Amino acid sequence: MMISKEGARPQFRIRLGPSGVHLFNRASGLNVLLDEINIPEQRWASAPRQVSIALTNTCDLACSYCFAPKSRATLPYDNVISWLNELETNGTIGVGFGGGEPTLYRRFAELCSYASNNTRLAVTFTTHGHHLSESLLDELKGNVHFIRVSMDGVQATYERLRGRSFQSLRRRFSAIRELAPFGINYVVNAETFHDLPAAVALAADEGATEMLLLPEQAANGRGGISAETVKELRAWLTTYRGTVRLTISERGAEDMPTCNPFEAEKDLHAYAHVAADGVLKATSYDTTGVVITSDGFLSALYRLNKTNQYEDME
């Protein structure tokens, strides 16, 4: 096994789970799954493979399809640090900071630095990109492993939906690319679907390594993606031959041409979300969950799992 430049930590994080032995290199993004190895359940990692944390609900955009709560809430820094340490100890591979807009979190760069230098977690964040100033990028350098930039539509569609200059966003991609590999998050609905080919072409031109498709979910009085747009998206995906890797959110993946190597790792084994009010949820779209108390993340995860199992039995 190779040794990192620090000389002390192996480059591969090892996670045992229902899918087998998962090796992950956060610097390169390389995943290796030894699925022929059957791991006894008592040796499975206790924490989810991936955890997203909404640091704050604050955002200076007002996208009509955004699912994030509009209530004012921000997570205490010390609480997040405690949860990161717990996730590190119990097998989580990566943590994704979001919101709201995470770059508006007062100690955002400090938090990324802690996670990168004191844990083996892969550090990612999702941003609209318009607050990635040179000074913030300098503070983040070396402490972020992947960035997700939200871009729904291109040109006039983007500007109408997000209320920001599209060219201003494009100018930021070169600086983002210097900081870390990045992907584009793209909400798919009737308003954005027809821009999808142009958006993928732009992603390739800008050097994005991935495009995450997010079929709009029902939230805040909106009904979500229409059945007709789902049909169009499915047809488009079956003919896609581009160079940018496409992924799709689990909530929107039903009946889509997808491949999931971690199919055995379901629900809270795979993913969990912490809302900005400190409530642990199965997904960021859920309206209910359990509060993470002083007992810690795993205690809340246990209670959430029990709650979900009980509801499934009803």
Dihedral angle at the C-alpha atoms of 84, 89, 93, 99, nearest 10 degrees? -20
What is the C-alpha separation between 277 and 62, in angstroms, rounded? 20
What is the C-alpha separation between 146 and 313, in angstroms, rounded? 38
In this prediction, the residues of the chain whose per-residue pLDDT falls under 70 are 1-10, 309-314
Bridge partners of 215, per DSSP, are: 188
Six-digit token string for 157: 């569609």
> Which CATH number is 46-313's, of 3.40.50.20, 3.20.20.70, 3.40.50.620, 3.40.1370.10?
3.20.20.70
Model pLDDT, residue 311: 57
Q: Where are the domains of the chain?
A: 1-44, 46-313
Model pLDDT, residue 300: 98
**pTM to 2 decimal places:** 0.92
| CA distance readout (Å), 122 to 34, 87, 130, 197, 226 | 20, 11, 23, 30, 34
Quickly count helices (H) and strands (E) in the chain: 8, 13
Model pLDDT, residue 181: 96
Model pLDDT, residue 244: 96
